[in-house]
Amino acid sequence: MAENEDGQEKTEDPSTRKLEQAREKGQVARSRELGSVVVMMFGAMGLIFFGGMLLDACREVFQLNFDVDREALMDPDVGMHKLLESAQRIIMALIPLFVVLALAATFIPPMVGGFNFSMQAVAPKLSKLNPLSGLKRMFSVQSLMELGKSLAKFFLVSTAAVLILNMYSERFLSLGFQDPVNAMAEGMSIVMWAFFLLCSSLILIAAVDVPFQLYQYNKQLMMTKQEVREEYKDTEGKPEVKSRIRAKQREMAQARMMQAVPTADVVITNPTHFAVALKYDPQKNLAPIVVAKGVDFIAEQIKKVAIANEVMILRAPPLARSIYYHTELEREIPQGLYIAVAQVLAYVFQLKRFHEGKGQNPGQQPEFPVPPDLKRD
């Protein structure tokens, strides 16, 4: 197991925050072998697809420079003119290949690790000039892996080159017996396919390097249990701080709740332990909503605010407990309580009209039925 400077084992996978910090520093998983192999493969395929254009350009350049009149040879401006024209034709033939290589070099390497740009990665660091750090990197697992890849590439390319030379030996030897036009086409074909096969031999190196780079990257970012705890404290906050924040949030929520009590149509109580304040606005809601609720001290506060603002208070213990337990703040009451709450609101409306001298006394407060499945003790 990897260890940090304190000797603690890094046994925990890197957290999301750890990975984000690594990317901000420019540390991402990268496989140089994958990038170089794929770019060379695209280059080889580009030669195969656009080799005809390059061959035609070469023929034109040969014809342009070797088919010259005697009088033209004596003119010093002709040489420069032919040189510029030759360069133009070759460059125009190479442009499609350059475009393919540029696209491959831009989009293929980020396949491992993704696109990432960090100013911290390009900023100068004096620690990179430390000779001890340099010696440590020279004898690290990464350096041994790089040495192994270099040796493997040497043997693979050497073996592939020998096999390719043996495979194309007869065609190579036959070039001397062909006319120049056919020899150029045959030579171009041999070069293109030989280069493609040589590049293909390096796919094995990339196939080994990619998993290794991902493993090495994850291993470097492994965390100790202490680092995980410290990061959790930094990101989530210390317990005592979180407790104070929650207390402050509760205070703010209670203050908002008390401000809503004067807008309620009725407050239903237990009467000593529970209190819920209901408001019904048929223009905005399909059913009454709970604008405030609480037990014990909070319930007493709700009742005091209701009395101060002349909000009707009704004693209905089963209904108060049911609404408290089954309805969240600023949410509509459950459908099973529609009938009971409708009777409450109707009774409150009749009682208000009676107090205003506009209606008859509704009499003694009726029982408000609560469905058995919504009752709470």
Average per-residue pLDDT for the chain: 77
Which single residue is written with the structure tokens 């061959």? 55
Q: From 174, 175, 183, 190, select the one nearest 58 (Cα to Cα).
A: 183
Percent of the residues in the chain that have a pLDDT greater than 70, as a whole number: 81
| Mean pLDDT value across residues 329-358 | 83
264 and 366 both lie in a single domain: yes
Residues in the chain: 377
Which single residue is written with the structure tokens 């342009």? 64
For 190-243, what is each residue's pLDDT tens digit?
888 888 888 888 888 788 877 887 787 788 777 777 777 777 666 665 666 667
| Mean pLDDT value across residues 3-26 | 66
Q: From 376, 261, 273, 268, select the one nearest 325 (Cα to Cα).
A: 376
Which single residue is written with the structure tokens 């690290």? 140
Which residues lie below 8 Å from residue 195, measured CB to CB, with a gap of 6+?
Answer: 43, 44, 47
Three-class SS of residue 363?
coil
255 and 215 both lie in a single domain: no
To 10 degrees, what angle do helices 141-174 and 131-138 make?
A: 60
Judged against a pLDDT cut of 80, whether residue 99 lies above it is answered with yes
Tokens representing 38?
């794929």
Judged against a pLDDT cut of 60, whether residue 2 lies above it is answered with no
178 and 293 both lie in a single domain: no
216 and 254 both lie in a single domain: no
Note down the domain range covering 76. Answer: 28-121+138-220
* CATH number of the structural domain spanning residue 255: 3.40.1690.10
Residue 87 lies in a domain: yes
pLDDT of residue 197: 84
Q: Buried b / exposed e across 148-181, counting CB within 10 Å, b at 16+?
A: ebeebbeebeeebeeebeeebeeeeeeeeeeeee
Q: From 300, 249, 253, 247, select the one nearest 273 (Cα to Cα).
A: 300
Residue 14 lies in a domain: no
Domain count, the chain: 2
For 165-193, what is each residue's pLDDT tens digit?
888 888 877 877 888 778 878 888 888 88
| Mean pLDDT value across residues 293-313 | 86
269 and 193 both lie in a single domain: no
| Mean pLDDT value across residues 306-332 | 85
Q: Beta-strand (E) ranges in the chain?
A: 266-269, 274-279, 289-295, 312-315
320 and 362 both lie in a single domain: yes
Residue 288 lies in a domain: yes
175 and 293 both lie in a single domain: no
267 and 196 both lie in a single domain: no
Residue 280 contacts residue 345 (beta carbons within 8 Å): yes
Residue 180 lies in a domain: yes
Global pTM reads: 0.46
265 and 351 both lie in a single domain: yes
**Domain-terminating residue out of 202, 220, 238:** 220
Angstrom distance (rounded) from CA 248 to CA 221 = 37
51 and 191 both lie in a single domain: yes
pLDDT of residue 131: 60
For 261-292, what is each residue's pLDDT tens digit?
888 888 888 877 888 888 888 888 788 888 88
167 and 270 both lie in a single domain: no
Tokens representing 249?
């949030």
Percent of the residues in the chain that have a pLDDT greater than 90, as a whole number: 0
311 and 370 both lie in a single domain: yes
Residue 108 lies in a domain: yes
Residue 198 contacts residue 160 (beta carbons within 8 Å): yes
